[in-house]
Amino acid sequence: MKPSEKQLLDDITSFILAANKYVHQHLYSINDIRTKSGEYDLVTSIDDEVEQMLDQNIREHYPEAVIIGEEDAQKDYDQIDSGLVFFVDPIDGTLNLVKKHDCFAIMIGVYYDGQPVCSGIMDVMNQKLYWGGMETGVYCNDKKLHPAVDQSLKEGLVGVSWRQFLRNAFEEIRIAKNSAGIRVMGSAGLEFVEVITGKHIAYLATLNPWDIAAGNVLVQALGYKITNVSGNTINLKKVNHIMVANDQTYRDMRKIQTY
Amino acid sequence: MKPSEKQLLDDITSFILAANKYVHQHLYSINDIRTKSGEYDLVTSIDDEVEQMLDQNIREHYPEAVIIGEEDAQKDYDQIDSGLVFFVDPIDGTLNLVKKHDCFAIMIGVYYDGQPVCSGIMDVMNQKLYWGGMETGVYCNDKKLHPAVDQSLKEGLVGVSWRQFLRNAFEEIRIAKNSAGIRVMGSAGLEFVEVITGKHIAYLATLNPWDIAAGNVLVQALGYKITNVSGNTINLKKVNHIMVANDQTYRDMRKIQTY
């Protein structure tokens, strides 16, 4: 049986806040910094501990659910089309955590039968939890956020991931030059937050499923457009090159890409 | 007569804090957003008001001083080699102020006979004042900051201004690819802050004198290296392409540039 969105939100926000508390207590005693796919794809003892905390809470409350986690070895992508699925990114922006002690997030995204239900993104250092769902709307702590405002690309700032940006495979550079400017933060979760708070007009990045899942719910709940660069629906079984924006900016970006 | 560094610091920090209070009171009632050199070189009623407040305070306390301000029409560069000079940037990162209500700074840099004395950079939205001088050391609010730690380029994040970065005139892209990554904030003052707090290992940007003056004091007071891209001393009479870093990272960057 599908749990209610309200119940799920009550639970994931309390799981995230507990994890947030743990991170604040252990931020300056990180050990065991290891690399994964490359020299700057890092994982620390904090990522491990937070993932374990979140997984344990989810398994206790939702024993039937599938969990897809960044640091989890087994990724059961075959099972994510049916029933309850939790995507967990214990620390999104681990390089920032290690180098800056700043600008990173804890994220959970919940899906049912492959459809977005609800999610939470915790901006740890600013103590701000962005949370919401398709029925509930979106909040920052206890403040309701407003739906997307339609603006053109040239009116706003665009968040990008810089390595993809330099490859310019999807006309990112021409898009940037037709915007008010680009910004680079190094955390997918916080880039989604910039969009849903109206600070950035768009976000372009190459992301893994656990980087996308939570933000994908919140932007859709607020009426933003999110697709891969070919204009297709995001596929949470693989890496996606995503485009997020309001309708008008999205059209402006597509026009530049297909020019 | 040269005023004491302590007296100057007492005064500029109180001028900046008064301006900071004004910005918080008027942040959501900005009017009269105008362009300057280009579509995204903005100035607002807040820039005007804050510059007027700072100028008035400086003129009252130091009537003999020269003031070089971003929004000031008359820029007396001939006079900056002798006596007391205040460089004022009322709002550094005006585009961020307008689009994000976040990530901008108020800055004053004080020089005597062309030499750095003291300065302040206010991170307005985080309510953090970074201040200090060549004799005093550097503080964030009441917390003393530590001198530069020597690390190599590959160990840290590099702040850049993105339009210059894309021109790649100074091998910025190769430098980026040899670092842990780049970040783009859109405020020179806050990029200097990332360096003095050890969050970024270097900063590369093309900047006006009022963008540089305050940060230039704080990085030197903490023992960082700052030059233009040719390795020469910053010239506060003109635009500079600056490089800021600890000694080892600075050498790593120069090696890449001259390879």
Residue B26: enclosing H or E segment and its boundaries? helix B5-26
Q: Assess: ipTM above 0.90.
A: yes
User: Do the Cβ atoms of B162 and A182 come within 8 Å?
Assistant: yes
Query: Is A76 annotated as ligand-binding?
Result: no
Q: Are A199 and B101 inside 8 Å of each other by CB? A: yes
Give the model's pLDDT for residue A72: 61
Which tokens sit at A245?
A: 């924006």
- State the pLDDT at residue B4: 98
Best to test chain B binding among A100, A155, A179, A249 (most B CBs inside 10 Å): A100
Q: Which residues in chain A are contacts of B99 at CB distance < 8 A?
A: 156-157, 180, 199-200
- Summarised one tens digit per residue, pLDDT across range A14-72 is 999 999 999 999 988 887 788 877 877 778 889 999 999 999 999 999 999 999 987 66
- pLDDT > 70? residue B75: no
Q: How does strand A84-92 pair with strand A66-69?
A: parallel
Instruction: Determine the longest span between alpha carbons in chain B, in angstroms.
Output: 52
What is the per-residue pLDDT across A146-189, written as a single tens digit (0 to 9) for each? 998 899 999 999 999 998 898 998 899 999 999 999 999 999 99
Task: Indicate yes or no: CB of B162 within 8 angstroms of CB of A173.
Answer: no
Interchain pair B99, A156: CB under 8 A: yes
Chain-chain contact of B200 with A40 (C-beta, under 8 angstroms): no
The domain A5-144 is classified under which CATH number: 3.30.540.10, 3.10.129.10, 1.20.120.1200, 2.30.30.30? 3.30.540.10
Q: Is the pLDDT of residue B74 over 70?
A: no
Collapsing DSSP to helix, strand or coil, A108 comes out as: strand
Give contacts of A95 with chain B, Cβ < 8 Å. 157, 180-181
Residues whose CB is less than 8 angstroms from the CB of residue A78 and which lie 6 or more positions away in sequence, other chains included: none
What is the separation of C-alpha A234 from the centre of its chain, rounded to a whole number of angstroms? Answer: 13
Query: Which residues in chain B have Cβ-Cβ distances shorter than 8 Å to A128?
Result: none
**Terminus-to-terminus CA distance in chain A, angstroms?**
47
Contact A203, A229 (CB under 8 A): no
Residue of B nearest to A179 (CA): B40
Domains of chain B: which residue ranges? 5-144, 153-258
Give kind and range of the element (H or E) at residue A143: strand A143-144
Reduce the DSSP state of residue B151 to 3 states and report it: coil
Residue A78 has pLDDT above 90, yes or no: no
Residue A183: beta bridge partners? A159
CA distance B16 to chain A (A): 23
The region that residue A122 occupies, defined by phi over 0 for left and psi between -120 and 50 for alpha, beta otherwise, is beta
Q: How confident is the model at residue A74 (pLDDT cuts 50, 70, 90)?
A: low
* Closest-CA residue of chain A to B183: A184
Contact A35/A41 with Cβ under 8 angstroms? yes
The helix-helix angle for B188-196 and B209-221 (nearest 10°) equals 10
Q: Which of B149, B158, B162 to mutate to test the interface with A (most CBs of A within 10 A)?
A: B162
Residue A123 is labelled as binding a ligand: no
Q: Which two tokens stand for residue A92?
A: 């999104």
Task: Tell me the per-residue pLDDT of B76-134, one tens digit each, with 9 for 90 and over.
Answer: 788 889 999 999 999 999 999 999 999 999 999 999 999 999 999 999 999 999 999 99
Residue B103: both structure tokens together: 């990530």
Is residue B73 over pLDDT 60?
A: no
Counting every residue written for chain B, the total comes to: 259
Min Cα separation A127/chain B (Å): 13
Distance from CA of B103 to the nearest CA of A (A): 11
The answer to whether A121 is a known ligand-binding residue is no
pLDDT at B252 over 90: yes
pLDDT band, residue B237 (cuts 50/70/90): very high
Contact residues for B206 (Cβ-Cβ < 8 A; gap 6+): B161, B163, B164, B239, B240, B241, B242
In this complex, the residue of B95, B154, B181 whose CB is nearest that of residue A181 is B95
- Lowest-confidence pick of A25-39, A79-93, B161-175: A25-39
What average pLDDT does the segment B171-181 reach? 95
Instruction: Determine whether the interchain pair A95/B180 forms a contact, defined as Cβ–Cβ distance below 8 Å.
Output: yes
Q: Nearest residue of B to residue A197 by CA position?
A: B100
Report CB contact under 8 Å: A184, B162: yes
Strands A202-207 and A157-160: parallel
Q: Rounded mean pLDDT of A134-141?
A: 98
**Using CA atoms, how far apart are residues B84 and B76, in angstroms rounded to an integer?**
13
Mean pLDDT score of chain A, rounded to an integer?
93
Nearest-by-Cβ selection for B166 from A157, A173, A180? A173
- pLDDT tens digit sequence for B8-66: 999 999 999 999 999 999 988 887 788 877 877 878 889 999 999 999 999 999 999 99
Q: Do A162 and B173 touch (CB under 8 A)?
A: no
**CB atoms inside a 10 Å sphere around CB B88:** 26
Would you tell me the crossing angle of helices A209-221 and A188-196 to the nearest 10 degrees? Answer: 10
CA distance A160 to chain B (A): 10
SS3 of residue B73 by DSSP: coil
Q: What pLDDT, on a 0 to 100 scale, did the predictor assign at position A71?
A: 65
End-to-end alpha-carbon separation of chain B, Å?
Answer: 47
A91 is in an annotated binding site: yes
What is the reported pLDDT for B235? 95
Please report which helix (H) or strand (E) contains residue A120, including its range. Answer: strand A115-123
> Hey, are the CB atoms on A166 and B181 less than 8 Å from each other?
no
Closest Cα in chain B to A168:
B166
Q: What confidence score (pLDDT) does residue B71 get?
A: 65
Q: Return the structure tokens found at A35.
A: 């690399």
**What fold characterizes domain B153-258?**
D-Maltodextrin-Binding Protein; domain 2 (3.40.190)
Candidates B249, B139, B152, B150; CA nearest to B197 is B139
